[in-house]
Structures are given as C-alpha cells and as structure tokens.
C-alpha cells in the first residue's frame, strides 16, 4: 500500500516532498539476527551495563519498552545488564531537562528517547554530540525498510542520526462508548459537533473533555490540533515555514475555539497527568479526551475495552505525526552494546513486539498488520492515505527553543484566557525563531 509522506522539516530540508512508500503490508520473514562482531568479524559476546533513557513510565509505555528489553538478549548474545533509566512526565519535558544537564556534563546515557525532526536535529546533532549511524543503516539495509520521508527526517547532510521505533498520531479524540451510547450521542466530527456533544454531556453532569496538563504538552497539543482543525493541513504546515501568518484571523478563530474547548474541561486539569485524564474517561466521569494514540496503550494496560476513537474535531484525513527514536551519543558508555540496542529498536521483531503495546504503528514498512489491534490497524490505514503534518508538542514542527516559547505562551494563556495576548506571543515566538520576518 502506498503512503504519501509530506516531510516535516522547513522548506530548505525537503519539506512537502511526496514520497511513495509501503507500510504495514504483512510479510513475516525474519531478518538476520543482528549479532555484534569483533574487529575480525567474528561474533563477540557483549557484557556490562547498557543504560536506556526515556520518559516511558506509564503502563502501556513501560510494557512496550519491556518487550524491547526482553528481545535484547535474544538478538544481542552476551551478558548485558540493561539499566532502565526513566524520568517520569508525559511528553518528556522533565526528561529532556535531565538529559540536557547530563549531556552538557559529559555523562550521556547509552542511548536516549528523542523525537524525530527538529527535536533531534536542532539539539544534540546540531551541537555535534551524536555519532552518525550511516554505518548501521547501511549494514542493516534500513534504506529499504524505512520510508524515504522518515529517513530524511532523521538525517542531516545525508547522515542518519537516530533509529525510529514508531509513528504516533497526535490528533485523536478518545471517548467512552458506554457514556456516549447511554446519552444517545455520536462521536463528534467537527468543532460544531464537538460543542453540541459537550453541552449534552455537561447537562448530564459529565465533564465533557478530560484534560491533564500537569505537563504543559497536553494543552499545547490541544492547541495544535485546534489550529490543525481550523486551518487545515496546508495552512497548518505554513505556520512552521512562515507561509501562514500567526497574526491572521484564522489563527484568531482557532485560539477562540481553543479557549472555548478549555471551558469544557475538568477544573483540576493542572494537577492531572494525561493518563489520569484518561482515567476520568475510563470511569465515565468524563466523556472525551483529546490525546495522542499512546491512550490506546494506556487503555490496554488498564484493561479498558470500551474506548472509541475518531480524529480530533475537523481533522479527518490528516495525520498529525511524531516518532520516538533512539541514537548513539558520542562517548556513549558500552558503545557496542548500544549499537546492538539500536539494531533491536530498528528490527522487524523489535517493532512488532513494541508497537502493539505502545499504541503506535511501526516506522518500518514491513510489519505484520495482524499483530495490531483494531485502533492501530485503522491508524495504519490512515497513515497510508492521510495528509501527514508534523506535531508541535512532540518535536516535529518547530525547533526546541521555538516550541518552548509556544509552550510558555500556552501555559500563561490557560491561566489568563487572554486570546489577544496569546496571539501576540505566538507571533513574536515565530519571529524570534527566525522563521517569520
């Protein structure tokens, strides 16, 4: 099946190139085990500690990660002790701060989770702190199994710097099917539908929209999908290239809609995490939550089977994408063990084990679709035909500094509710990034 991937980086880096790629179309062939070899080419057993750094601490996230850890000794013979180094906090804001001080202090973990795109390329790749993985991509023939658009976005000057383990979708509205059936409601397709449904839920004493923005990414992501639904994919992408003005009336409309959506959320949103917000939906205390498809993993880990999903309001036909990747820091402790970790992460077996539990689809194109649940199968179908746009809240759309400015502006807005002030700060942030004149 063919996927059109519209690249995420600014125009200078091949933005909006359409690439035909195959995705998730069966095929069970086992690839060669990525056995490490010594200088003579003979297998050499691995040993010592291997530290893997991430923010995957919730049930579904941890379950997926454990699958990779379980595969490691099968694919990497020896006696390596994996150190699961996690810093809790959805979206990774806290983890990135810890990582930053470690990298700057010359104490890198063996490998760390980082989002594909700007978050990777504008940070540790730009500062020269990562090893090129061209040798590994060549050795594993990964040019043949990852979509060209994905290869481009993990690469700088033709050198790949990280291995993508998955593709996540940010623009999903999750709802409790029983709550909706009991209330005689249909899942909303448009913003107008959303507000109708929200009013009906409110009238029944149910919180319409669960939000957990203890970590700011959750409200940034709600803004992102509201911009996407209001502007459409092309104008949304233009926000990240300077083509769409942040001061435009369309953006004002989106911000007003965002403000209105926030008025339907739980009053304690600032003290809840994204997964605690999902708990409100699971328990029937809230009708909906708008969150990435790691909610699918959270539901699975919690045994909740009555979840429905639709694209977030007015975003049908658009896939707001992000990807988790792992790289090789220069001076990584136990380099050989890290390289074998990266082979596991990029392997068919690794991606087929990890993604069904993580609520994501493979970054590879050859995973066996039958291993995935109905939501993920639908995501694979959408990935193959939708318009692909980059996620702001998860490192794909904007440089880390620009994304941080936006996040600060959104956090201030959630308290102040001042649309004019938010729009002014968003316009300034674009100028400060150098993208807008």
Residue numbers 57-76 binding ligand GAL by CB under 6 A: 61
- Candidates 84-92, 201-209, 260-268, 304-312: pick the segment binding ligand GAL (CB under 6 A): 84-92
Q: Listing from the earlier edge strand, what are the strands of the sheet with 168-169?
A: 168-169, 318-322, 387-390
Which uninterrupted H or E stretch holds 379?
helix 374-385
The smaller minimum CB distance to ligand GAL, of residues 92 and 390, is found at: 92
The smaller minimum CB distance to ligand GAL, of residues 46 and 170, is found at: 170
Q: Which of 5, 8, 53, 56 binds ligand GAL (CB under 6 A)?
A: 56
Query: Which two structure tokens, joined as six digits, stand for 196?
Result: 């109708």
Binding mask 388-427 for ligand GAL (x = CB under 6 A): ------x---------------------------------
- Candidates 55-63, 187-195, 309-317, 429-437: pick the segment binding ligand GAL (CB under 6 A): 55-63
Q: Which of 5, 175, 246, 294 binds ligand GAL (CB under 6 A)?
A: 294
Helices (H), ranges, 112-216 = 118-120, 134-140, 148-153, 177-182, 191-203
324 near ligand GAL, rule: CB under 6 A: yes
311 near ligand GAL, rule: CB under 6 A: no
In 3D space, the residue among 128, 126, 130 whose CA is nearest the CA of residue 112 turns out to be 130
In 3D space, the residue among 111, 165, 148 whose CA is nearest the CA of residue 349 turns out to be 165
The smaller minimum CB distance to ligand GAL, of residues 222 and 337, is found at: 222
Residue numbers 164-203 binding ligand GAL by CB under 6 A: 168
The smaller minimum CB distance to ligand GAL, of residues 108 and 359, is found at: 359
Strand duo 159-160 + 155-156: pairing = antiparallel
How many beta carbons lie within 10 A of that of residue 372, not counting itself?
22
Compute how many residues bind ligand GAL; rule: CB under 6 A.
Answer: 12
Query: Which two structure tokens, joined as six digits, stand for 70?
Result: 């379980």
How many beta carbons lie within 10 A of that of residue 273, not counting itself?
19
The one-character DSSP state at 125 is I
- Candidates 54-62, 153-161, 264-272, 367-375: pick the segment binding ligand GAL (CB under 6 A): 54-62
The smaller minimum CB distance to ligand GAL, of residues 92 and 149, is found at: 92
Query: What does residue 164 show for φ and ψ, rounded to 5 degrees?
Result: -75, 130
The smaller minimum CB distance to ligand GAL, of residues 155 and 278, is found at: 278
SS3 242: coil
91 near ligand GAL, rule: CB under 6 A: yes
Q: Which of 92, 109, 160, 346 binds ligand GAL (CB under 6 A)?
A: 92
Q: Give me the residue whose beta carbon is nearest to ligand GAL.
A: 90
The smaller minimum CB distance to ligand GAL, of residues 219 and 334, is found at: 219
161 near ligand GAL, rule: CB under 6 A: no
- Candidates 30-38, 43-51, 53-61, 417-425: pick the segment binding ligand GAL (CB under 6 A): 53-61
- Candidates 88-96, 147-155, 261-269, 278-286: pick the segment binding ligand GAL (CB under 6 A): 88-96
The answer to whether 148 and 5 are in contact (CB under 8 A) is: yes
The answer to whether 362 and 354 are in contact (CB under 8 A) is: no
The answer to whether 146 and 164 are in contact (CB under 8 A) is: yes
In 3D space, the residue among 274, 296, 306 whose CA is nearest the CA of residue 178 turns out to be 306
Residue 172 bridge partners (DSSP): 311
Distance CA 394, CA 386 (A): 19
Binding site for ligand GAL (CB under 6 A): 55-56, 61, 90-92, 168, 292, 294, 322, 324, 394
């Amino acid at each position: 099946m063919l996927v059109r991937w519209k690249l995420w980086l600014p125009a200078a880096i091949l933005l909006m190139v359409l690439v035909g790629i195959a995705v998730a179309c069966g095929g069970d062939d086992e690839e060669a085990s990525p056995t490490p070899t010594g200088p003579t080419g003979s297998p050499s057993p691995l040993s010592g500690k291997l530290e893997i750094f991430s923010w995957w601490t919730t049930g579904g996230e941890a379950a997926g990660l454990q699958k990779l850890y379980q595969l490691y000794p099968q694919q990497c013979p020896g006696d390596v002790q994996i150190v699961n180094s996690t810093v809790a906090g959805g979206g990774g804001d806290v983890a990135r701060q810890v990582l930053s001080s470690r990298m700057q202090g010359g104490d890198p973990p063996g490998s760390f989770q980082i989002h594909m795109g700007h978050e990777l390329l504008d940070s540790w790749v730009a500062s020269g702190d990562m090893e090129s993985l061209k040798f590994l991509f060549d050795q594993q023939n990964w040019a043949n199994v990852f979509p060209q658009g994905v290869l481009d976005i993990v690469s700088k000057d033709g050198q790949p710097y990280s291995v993508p383990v998955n593709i996540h979708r940010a623009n999903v509205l999750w709802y409790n099917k029983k709550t909706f059936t009991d209330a005689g409601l249909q899942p909303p397709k448009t913003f107008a539908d959303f507000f109708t449904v929200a009013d009906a839920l409110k009238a029944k004493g149910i919180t319409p929209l669960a939000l957990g923005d203890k970590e700011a990414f959750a409200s940034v992501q709600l803004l992102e999908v509201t911009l996407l639904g209001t502007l459409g994919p092309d104008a949304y992408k233009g926000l990240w290239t300077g083509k769409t003005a942040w001061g435009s009336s369309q953006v004002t409309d989106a911000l007003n809609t965002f403000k209105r959506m926030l008025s339907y959320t739980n009053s304690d949103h600032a003290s809840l995490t994204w997964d605690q917000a999902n708990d409100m939906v699971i328990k029937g205390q809230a009708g909906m939550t708008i969150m990435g498809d790691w909610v699918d993993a959270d539901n699975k880990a919690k045994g909740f089977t009555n979840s429905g999903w639709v694209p977030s309001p007015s975003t049908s036909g658009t896939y707001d994408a992000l990807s988790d990747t792992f790289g090789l820091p220069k001076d990584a402790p136990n380099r050989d063990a890290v390289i074998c970790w990266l082979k596991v992460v990029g392997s068919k077996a690794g991606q087929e084990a990890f993604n069904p539990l993580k609520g994501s689809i493979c970054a590879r194109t050859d995973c066996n679709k039958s291993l995935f649940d109905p939501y993920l199968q639908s995501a694979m179908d959408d990935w193959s035909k939708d318009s692909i746009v980059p996620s702001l809240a998860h490192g794909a759309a904007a440089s880390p500094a620009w994304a941080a400015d936006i996040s600060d502006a959104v956090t201030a807005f959630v308290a102040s509710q001042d649309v004019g002030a938010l729009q002014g700060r968003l316009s300034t942030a674009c100028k400060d990034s150098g993208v807008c004149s």
